[in-house]
Structure 1
Amino acid sequence: MWARNWRYISWGSSRLWISPIRGVRRSLATLGSSGPRPVPLSYKLLDGQDALPPVVFLHGMFSNKNIFQAEAKTLAQQTGRKVLIMDARNHGESPHSPDCSYEAMSADLQALLQKLGLGPCVLIGHSMGGKTAMMVALQKPELVERLVSVDISPLVTPNMPDVFKIIRFMKYLNIPGDLSHSQAFKFLDEYLEPFVTDSSIRQYLFNSLVRIDGQYVWKVNGENLQQQKHQLLDTLQIQGVYPGHALFLRDTHSLFLPSSHYPKIKLLFPEVQFQNIPDSGHITHIKKPQEFMDSILSFLS
């Protein structure tokens, strides 16, 4: 079984309320003092000026903090800000947990920000990370100076591709341990190409492959993610308003953030801007890295 191959693989303030929106329900995490117990996330913090709001990158599903290393370094150098990258629970070097909910991932991030004394922050989240960023912004708007969501909607998207099929391919992939990193990438690329035609997604997945004790393994707890598939794809279970500036980046023909969702998103994020990056696919920061950084830098300025 795939599970046996895992070696680790140890990756306030006032609230505004609006009328209920169909498909957006109040989170239990906002109703009581008790909530998900946070786990200690693995992270890397690039130093910068204390006077500027720090930037936090939140990766998508099946990835880890290293996916944003180049962007974090560029942002730190060009803006002088502190930049934080981290592994979400069940990813990279952060602990595994059977709870994959956005409430839990929001609690993890809030605990880390408190530990590091960071805030309010600019949250930049891709896909799963984008929904986590939205959850934090709606729960604790005072912690979020600005919000950037990359190709994801807070609402359920019926036509979204079945991203979880990737777990099946990851499960049965056996890369010889004697291959170099570049050889392993070529092996993975050729293996996945018939099933995952977008080369940027294949490159994105390779970010989570690591060699430990002579064996290539995935730094992702795919079984836990698979078990909570429907919760991860569902509408965010929260009701509220984030009054700060928000930027939603998307591919022009995105299946993850359809333009039909704009009216409901504007109710949650009234100061939102929508921006298309043509031909960027779902992995915007890999397929169109320069356009992605240009959009971020423009939004921050």
Structure 2
Amino acid sequence: MVGSRKLRRTKRNCRGEESSSFGLASGSLDPPTSTNEKEEHRRKPSSERYQAPLSTFSPPTRFKLNSFPPSLAMLLPRSLLLPSTSSLLRTARQVPSLFPRRNLSSSELPGIPEPVDLPFELAEPKSRKGVDTLVIAHGLFGSKQNWRSLTRALAQELSMPVYALDLRNHGTAPHTPSHTYMSMASDVSHFFKTHDLTSKQVHLMGHSMGGKVVMATALHPLLNGPIKSLISVDMAPAVGKISPEFASYCDGMLEIENSDAQSKSQADAILEKYEKALSIRQFLLTNSVLKDQKISFRLPLQYLKDAIPAIGDFPFQPGQIHWDGPTLFVKGSRSKYINRHNIPAAESFFPNMKLEELDTSHWVHAEKPAEFIQLVSGFIKST
């Protein structure tokens, strides 16, 4: 194992010939052969055992992340890294930006669509301190009710009001064919205005799709005035094809609506063909209602199915624009939505970012609620 030895530029490749690769201090990787050599080799500190150009290491060799500057460690395959991946993620903001920064001119900014009014639930603290407010945006197929217990806990922990929103086409929010991130960012900004949430008093948090909504809101200079800090839960500001199971969930719910299912158990039996995990089926069925003796959904399923490509999109490109406010990214360690490929883009958009990790899948707040509350409240209190 290689210790925390300083890197320097070398001009040797894996055959000892001149090159321009990065490497460790010159030396040999050849293992000791005699008994005396082996004993002497074993007694050496790990940082002195192998000293050779980085390019000479074979794939089975694995490295401590603190052996390399973050900009180099970011490029190493995950298979070469020891399990302390979180230390790489937490230092992401120190990585030199791969994207030259500039600000879009007003004529280049994305247009702001007509907003809709967003329903909400408000959790009030027993004793309020200051004027700050936390506003939360849920993910795809979610709603404000999914955050009910967490909003109450966060309100007491932070001594501030906490709003949980229903984004358009979710929960009890209006249905509309337009389901772009700029449309949803416009809705959030409209919510700020209609609830007198003014300059630099809003801590804005979103999970998954809601994470992209709050990031788009923070990046648009005509929308971000009230925002004091930003939190994205297991979502990066990157363009990527959305997982195919999300479209299949729409198909499953549409099949339920077109069937004669009269109970959630009957609906669950249909949905099981599309999703084997009971917890996810139960989550999807929180959107179901019994109407005219049949199970239907509050969601405009065809609108959402048509919007799946747009949900994988993001309205800005790295280097186009940035927001300098304090930003927290919370990653689930078993989720791939935030990864070494899109962290540099996040750092470009949000140079004052911090990245933390919890031992969860994508549903960070649901799987580790106590740890999540502690992490989020600690960040907000520090801003």
Match of 1:72 in 2: 151
Equivalent residues in 2 for 1:74-223 (5 A)?
74-119=153-198, 120-139=201-220, 140-158=223-241, 160=243, 162-173=245-256, 174=259, 176-177=261-262, 179=263, 184=264, 186-193=265-272, 195-223=274-302
Letter in 2 for 1:39: V
Q: Is the 1:27–1:237 Cα contact (8 Å) retained in structure 2?
A: no
Q: In 1, distance between residues paired with 2:330 and 2:195?
A: 28
> Aligned-pair distance for 1:203?
3.2
Task: Mark the runs of 5 or more structure 1 residues left unpaired by the alignment.
Answer: 1-18
What SS does structure 2 have at the residue aligned with 1:142?
Answer: coil
Letter in 1 for 2:119: S
Q: Is the 1:243–1:271 Cα contact (8 Å) retained in structure 2?
A: yes
Corresponding residue pairs, total: 274
**Structure 1 pair 196/205, CA: closer, same or farther in 2 (3 Å)?**
same
Match of 1:288 in 2: 368
TM-score scaled by length of structure 2: 0.65
**Structure 1 pair 133/176, CA: closer, same or farther in 2 (3 Å)?**
same
Summarize deviations over 1:220-243 as a string: whole Å, max 9, x none: 112112212211102333632111
Q: In 2, distance between residues paired with 1:21 and 1:231?
A: 24
Q: Is the 1:204–1:286 Cα contact (8 Å) retained in structure 2?
A: no
Of 305, 313, 321, the residue aligned with 1:240 is: 321
Q: In 2, distance between residues paired with 1:118 and 1:237?
A: 25
Mean Cα deviation higher: 41-50 or 118-127: 41-50
Q: In 1, distance between residues paired with 2:105 and 2:239?
A: 15
Of 274, 277, 282, the residue aligned with 2:355 is: 274
Of 31, 44, 48, the residue aligned with 2:121 is: 44
Q: Is the 2:365–2:372 Cα contact (8 Å) retained in structure 1?
A: yes
- The higher-RCO structure (CA 8 Å, 6+ apart) is 1
**Structure 1 pair 167/28, CA: closer, same or farther in 2 (3 Å)?**
farther
Supply the RMSD in Å over aligned alpha carbons: 2.8
Task: Mark the runs of 5 or more structure 2 residues left unpaired by the alignment.
Answer: 1-96
Q: In 1, distance between residues paired with 2:106 and 2:276?
A: 39
> Aligned-pair distance for 1:116?
0.5
> Aligned-pair distance for 1:196?
2.3
Equivalent residues in 2 for 1:225-264 (5 A)?
225-237=304-316, 239-264=320-345
**Structure 1 pair 168/296, CA: closer, same or farther in 2 (3 Å)?**
same
Q: In 2, distance between residues paired with 1:115 and 1:158?
A: 34
> Aligned-pair distance for 1:152?
1.2
**Structure 1 pair 291/29, CA: closer, same or farther in 2 (3 Å)?**
farther
Letter in 2 for 1:285: H
